[in-house]
Each structure stands twice: as structure tokens, then as C-alpha cells.
Amino acid sequence: MILVENYTLAVALCFLAMICWGSWQNTRNVAGLTWRFELFYWDFVVGILLLPLLMAFTFGSFGNEGRPFVEDVRQASLKNISYAMLGGAIWNIGTLLLTAGIAIAGMSVAFPIGGGIGWILGIVILYMANPQGNPVFLFGGSAIVVVAIVLSMLSYKQLASQQKKPTIGGIVISMLAGVAIAFFYRFVDRSLARDFTDAYSGCLSPYTAVVFFSLGAFISTFLYNPFFMRMPVEGNPVRFSDYLNGTLKQHLMGVLGGAIWCLGMSVSFMANKAASPAIAYGLSNAAPVVAALWGVLVWKEFKGASSKTNRLLMAMFVAYVLGLVAIVYARIA
């Protein structure tokens, strides 16, 4: 398999993960907001399952280092497979909640709140398990992100006040999503071999871990999503027959969205060893700023907002960037 040992390359892969994790939601918008997220999600998890299999049989099987994918699966222990799949199931409920939050509050609000909480809490969890990197810069950058989250919530409150929209529902759901998302990376990380060339540990390579993660997410969708279909956060309940009425474009956008997200997951774990779990997660999960930029600049979610709201948004972006720089520097400080 192909391994990443260089920190600069690892950082570049984490930036790619950040872009992927902050951009997949655009496929939902392209599919059309009339296409309910509960229906979109069935195709989304198909994309999540297909992309890591492609990565496993290419990058995870080529090269001269470590075990190829099939051999890695054969030696994997049930405990480590279970860790990776549990990570997928935990991530899945968090993402469903986040997608519900986006449906209510919009991408430029739900992503910074839910993704930001998941970002900060996840860094703390991973650093406690594997304390690598300068804690001053790592947690200092995280503290700056807290400021960005507060600014995002204030900007949403300003906009909702102008438009006379309720604020509490989208914010609460996004916060719950962040708490769930914070824990998934640690479970997948526990399944990994510390030395990916280790031939006897029963632990997984990054490529194998992401495959089982995606399998856990796929299977758990059949438990979670029917609940969201019967008891939606907005609108009327939807049925499985409604899914069959979707257009080819809508189905393909869902698959593409899942593939984009899982590409980010794959490259983040490729960088996991060279960057350290906490830093790789921290950099990759800077996705909220990417999502907020999409929401503000492309989808015009804050069109017509007051100058005060726009100043809050600008301050939020600056805070996210400063936090990101601090986290990058944490490994080399």
C-alpha cells in the first residue's frame, strides 16, 4: 500500500480532506432542495461505501510498503473491525443530525456550529489518547475556533431576527450533531496499527479501516434513516416509494456527495500517522469554514443581511483561519 510519512504531504492531504468535508453538501443543493435530505441520504451512503473500496483496491493494494488490502482484511481482528464499524455508526447519526440541521438553518450556520463543536471536542478526545503536538498551539487554535462558533451563532441570530425565523431548532440539532461527530474518529483511530507495516497485530491499515468505517455507516443507515423519514425535522413524512420517484440527477448527486466526503475521510487517515491523530483530525475538520464560504459566496444564504451580520461573518472567517494556522504549527513548534 501507499503510505504517507512526510508531514508537509500529510498537511496537504488534510487540506484536501478539509475541502472535501466542507464541499460535499453542495451536491445536496445541486440535487434540489425539494429533494428531501432523507431521500438524498440513501444515495449518499452508497457513495460513502463505493469510494473507499476503490481506494483500497488501488492505493491500498499498490506499492511496496505494508500489506495489500485483501491480506490486511485476512489478518484483521474482530475487535478492530468492530471499532472501525462502530466509528461509522456514530458518525452516521451525527451526520444525519447535521444534515437535518442544514435543512432548517442553512449550510453557513449548521456547519460552523455542528462541525465546529465536533472539531474541538474531537481534538481533545484524540489528544488525550495520543498526546502529540504542542498543546499550546493545538488547544489555543481550538479556543479560537470556539470564538468562531459563537460569532456564527450570533450572525445567524441576527439574520433570523431580520427574517423573523425561529433560531433554536437548527442550532440545537446542529449542536447535537457536533457532539456525536466528535467521537467517531477516535474509534476508527483505535483500529489502526501504529506501525502500518506490522504484520501480526490484527490492526488495520488506513484503507482497510475506512472500508469498515463506511460499511458501519451504510448498515446503520437502515436503522437511522427510516426514523428520520417517519418523523422529519421539517415537512411531511416521506416513504421509500418517494425515493423511486427521484431523477437520475438527484440520485447521482447523492452518490457523488458521499464519494466526495469519503475521499476526505480516506486522505485524512492516510495522513494520520505523519501528522498525529489530533492534528490530522483538527486540520481535516476545518471544513466548517469551507462550507460557510460556499454558503455565503455561492448559495447567497446571507443575501440582504445587515452590515452588522456581515461583520460578524467576516470575524468568524478570520477566527477560523487563525485557529487553523495554530493547529498546523502545533506539530512543528
- pTM, to two decimals: 0.87
Q: Rounded distance, CA 186 to CA 179, Å? A: 13
% of the chain surpassing 70 pLDDT: 93
Residue 85 vs residues 103, 125, 173, 220, 256: alpha-carbon distances, Å: 27, 19, 24, 9, 22
Q: Rounded distance, CA 185 to CA 191, Å? A: 10
Three-point CA angle 53, 210, 287, nearest 5° = 110
At 273, is the pLDDT very low, low, confident or very high (cuts 50, 70, 90)? Answer: confident
Pure H helices in the chain? 7-23, 25-31, 37-56, 69-75, 78-105, 107-110, 116-129, 135-163, 168-190, 206-230, 240-244, 248-270, 272-275, 277-284, 287-293, 307-329
Sign of CA dihedral 309, 315, 320, 323: negative
Phi, psi of 119 (to 5 degrees): -65, -55
Residue 159 vs residues 101, 106, 165, 305: alpha-carbon distances, Å: 16, 11, 8, 6
For 9-40, the DSSP string reads HHHHHHHHHHHHHHHTHHHHHHH-TTS-HHHH
Q: Which residue has the cell 487554535?
A: 141
Q: Could you read off the pLDDT of 115-152 as tens digits, one per residue?
A: 778 888 888 899 999 898 999 999 998 888 788 877 87
At 106, is the pLDDT very low, low, confident or very high (cuts 50, 70, 90)? Answer: low
Grid cell locating 32 = 434540489
Q: Which residue has the cell 477566527?
A: 319
Give the list of residues 6+ apart from residue 146 with CB closer than 8 angstroms, or none.
Answer: 116, 120
At 169, is the pLDDT very low, low, confident or very high (cuts 50, 70, 90)? Answer: confident
Grid cell locating 261 = 466526503
Three-point CA angle 245, 250, 254, nearest 5° = 120
Q: Which of 114-123, 133-142, 173-182, 315-324 has the lowest mean pLDDT?
A: 114-123
Domain extents in the chain: 7-329
Residue 107 has pLDDT above 70, yes or no: no
Q: What is the pLDDT of residue 108?
A: 62
